[in-house]
Structure 1
Amino acid sequence: MTTAVHSHGAVVPQSVHFDDLDAMGVLHNSRYAVLVERAIVVWWAERGVSFTGGRPTTPDAFNVVREYQITFHRPIRGTGEIDVRFWLDRMGTTSADYGFQVTSADAEIVYAEGRRINVRLDPATMRPVPWTENGRAIASTLLRD
């Protein structure tokens, strides 16, 4: 049985809306990636790493998802609040390897878990470039012990 991570990383609440559900009344599989994306974006934006007016506020905001893997354990039935728990398993030179869980708001149920790898890009060349020292410092608070 999978249990919710409490010892490291961040927890960002998210809402499941009616239009996130499929014909069976459960959260559509594609919406999990959206919920994880939104949670990670909110967390970074609260620390000054975001986009304003279509431009990155810092160089570290210009990054893309390279890999995404998810395992579904139980369906989310209906609308309401859930939590997205995420952390960094590894912070590379140009990449960040996130682990995540989608859980009930009370952390009693793990609906899904997986990993996501982001790569920082140079906006001019679209090639990988190193994270800034500031970005690395912020990210260090997410690192798994």
Structure 2
Amino acid sequence: MNTASDSLPANMPLLCIADISVRWRDLDAFNHVNNSTYLTYLEEARVQWLQRIPGRWASEHAVPVMVASELNYRLPIEWPGQLRVELTCARQGNSSMTIAHRIVDASGDKLYCDGHVVMVWMDPTTGKSVPLPQAVRDAASG
């Protein structure tokens, strides 16, 4: 069994811990959460984090887009269930940040998924990357 006994890395600033309930509609034909729904859980945690940032994290000329994702599926998630999604900042670049994630059960005993996503801030009118907003940079620095 995969356990979540390893705590979040101390060298990565904690961004967010989001509590999420497993919904009946998240299940697939095998009666566990569909693999694509893990991305939805991660998206929800990122949105919760962004909404808590003091200051502007997006504007008319700077919006975040996901450009890469890596998910390591460790255990199937079953219904009913309460999850905890943990996000940390693994790396900040000029216009991007790598957000490490873990999906664990509410008690933190079972590790369901880990990995990371890369977010890039871009200008939607040009499609080109732009520097991270200062509010994001500050919030991701711990």
Q: Aligned residue pairs: how many? A: 136
Q: Is the Cα contact below 8 Å between 2:99 and 2:116 reproduced in 1?
A: yes
Corresponding residue number in structure 1 for 2:101: 100
Q: Percent identity?
A: 25
Letter in 2 for 1:12: A
TM-score normalised over the length of structure 2:
0.85
User: CA offset at residue 80 of structure 1?
Assistant: 2.4
Q: Is the Cα contact below 8 Å between 1:59 and 1:132 reproduced in 2?
A: no
Q: Is the Cα contact below 8 Å between 1:11 and 1:84 reproduced in 2?
A: yes
User: Would you identify which runs of 4 or more consecutive aligned residues in structure 1 move more than 6 Å?
Assistant: none
Structure 2 residue runs without a partner (length 5+):
none
Q: Pairwise CA RMSD of aligned residues? A: 2.2
Structure 1 residue runs without a partner (length 5+):
none
Corresponding residue number in structure 2 for 1:74: 75
Corresponding residue number in structure 2 for 1:5: 7
Evaluate the alpha carbon distance shift between residue 84 and residue 105 of structure 1 in structure 2; reply closer, same or farther with a 3 A threshold: same
Q: Is the Cα contact below 8 Å between 2:55 and 2:135 reproduced in 1?
A: no
1:38 aligns with 2:44: yes
User: CA offset at residue 132 of structure 1?
Assistant: 2.0
Q: Is the Cα contact below 8 Å between 1:84 and 1:103 reproduced in 2?
A: yes
Aligned positions of 1:1-145 closer than 5 A: 3=4, 4-6=6-8, 7=10, 8-9=13-14, 10-48=16-54, 56=58, 62-141=63-142
CA distance in 1, matches of 2:55, 2:134: 13
Q: Is the Cα contact below 8 Å between 1:66 and 1:117 reproduced in 2?
A: yes
CA distance in 1, matches of 2:97, 2:75: 27
Q: What secondary structure does 1:140 align onto? A: coil
Q: Is the Cα contact below 8 Å between 1:50 and 1:58 reproduced in 2?
A: no
Q: What secondary structure does 1:70 align onto? A: strand
User: CA offset at residue 2 of structure 1?
Assistant: 5.4
